Amino acid sequence: MMVMNMWVVFLVMFIVGNLIFVSKYKHLLIVLLSLEFIVLSIFFFLLTYLYYIENNLYLLMVFLVFSVCEGALGLSILVSMIRTHGNDYFQSFNLL
């Protein structure tokens, strides 16, 4: 019963992260924070699932490496966008 409650919490975390991602699409920083929240909920879900089936947790190290690389890439894009355009609004960013 405890495992089912934890999975419901992880599912709610994932849905809330997706709702923030969809509703706050104008600022790059909020989009990046919501993506990290989604990655964190997936990490906790994988941790609970792998611990429950008594499997090795090496997959979590690989997942953390990729999530850190994703976060560093997002922050570098944010810094370069702020340096060139002055803010993180997607409306002021012209692709043409």
Share of the chain above pLDDT 90, in %: 34
The DSSP string of 32-91 is HHHHHHHHHHHHHHHHHHHHHTT--SHHHHHHHHHHHHHHHHHHHHHHHHHHHHSS-BST
Which CATH number, 3.30.980, 1.20.272, 1.10.287, 1.25.40, labels domain 2-85? Answer: 1.10.287
Q: 88 and 81 in contact (C-beta within 8 Å)?
A: yes
Domain ranges across the chain: 2-85
Name the more confident of 81 and 23. Answer: 23
Note the pLDDT tens digit of each residue in 10-56: 889 999 999 998 998 788 888 889 999 999 999 988 888 888 888 88
Label residue 94 by pLDDT band (50, 70, 90): low
Which residues have C-beta within 8 Å of that of residue 21, sequence separation ≥ 6? Answer: 31, 34, 35, 38
Q: 94 and 32 in contact (C-beta within 8 Å)?
A: no
Per-residue pLDDT for 92 more than 70?
no
pLDDT at site 3: 65
